[in-house]
């Protein structure tokens, strides 16, 4: 939504918007991994059946305001913010050639992402200086990503007992976390002066 108003010789306008979404997705699929065998032929190495449930929530907003002062000066400001969260639960099970048996791996994952962008711009025309024009803009942006506690747990199947045991392999049970914070500040300006090349 937005609107504009005339105040004497000046004009001001503004607009804003908001978006929100919440989605669920369930996936069931099979995946086969291949490797080179002893004879140099490509052959299956791992075969897994996957089940995955994912919940994603998105929220974003945008707003801008601008003003024109007479015919020669204008200012505008705009801001954008986006945030998404992703919650994933996954399990896969199947044959693993390295252990020559079935394995089962579960994953719990939560990821947050944020993006913010702010910009201010100005344009100024000076008729007393032969219509010299000054344009400038400054922006500040932020980008963040946070994955605080991703957990993967592996279980190995014991033939004959029909029991799944927690794997003692170091690569099979992991806790992973990561954090990213990026900031960017930018400023630029330009000056133009019209002139006649030929009189």
Q: Please report, in tens digits, the pLDDT of each residue of the chain (199 residues total).
A: 788 888 888 899 999 999 999 999 999 999 999 888 777 788 888 999 999 999 999 999 999 999 999 888 999 999 999 999 999 999 999 998 888 889 999 999 999 999 999 999 999 999 888 889 999 999 999 999 999 999 999 999 887 777 888 888 877 789 999 999 999 999 999 999 887 777 6
Backbone angles phi, psi at 69, to 5 degrees: -105, 100
**Global pTM?**
0.77
Buried b (16+ CB within 10 A) or exposed e, 164-189: eeebeeeebeeeeeeeeeeeeeeeee
Q: 58 pairs with which residues across the strands?
A: 21, 84
């Amino acid at each position: 939504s937005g609107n504009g108003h005339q105040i004497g010789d000046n004009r001001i306008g503004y607009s804003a918007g908001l978006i929100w979404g919440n989605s669920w997705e369930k996936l069931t699929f099979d995946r086969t991994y291949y490797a080179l065998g002893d004879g140099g032929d490509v052959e299956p190495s791992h075969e897994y059946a996957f089940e995955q449930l994912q919940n994603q929530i998105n929220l974003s907003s945008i707003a801008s305001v601008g003003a024109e002062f007479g015919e020669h000066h204008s200012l505008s400001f705009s801001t954008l913010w986006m945030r998404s969260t992703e919650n994933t639960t996954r399990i896969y099970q199947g044959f693993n050639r390295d252990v020559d048996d079935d394995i089962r791996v579960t994953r719990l994952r939560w990821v947050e992402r944020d993006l913010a962008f702010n910009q201010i711009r100005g344009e100024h025309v000076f008729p007393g200086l032969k219509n010299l024009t000054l344009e400038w803009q400054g922006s500040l942006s932020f980008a963040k990503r946070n994955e605080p506690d991703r957990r993967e747990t592996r279980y190995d199947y014991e033939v004959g007992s029909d029991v799944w045991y927690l794997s003692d392999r170091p690569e099979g049970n992991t806790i992973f976390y990561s954090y990213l914070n990026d900031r960017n500040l930018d400023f630029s300006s330009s000056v133009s002066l019209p002139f006649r090349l030929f009189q």
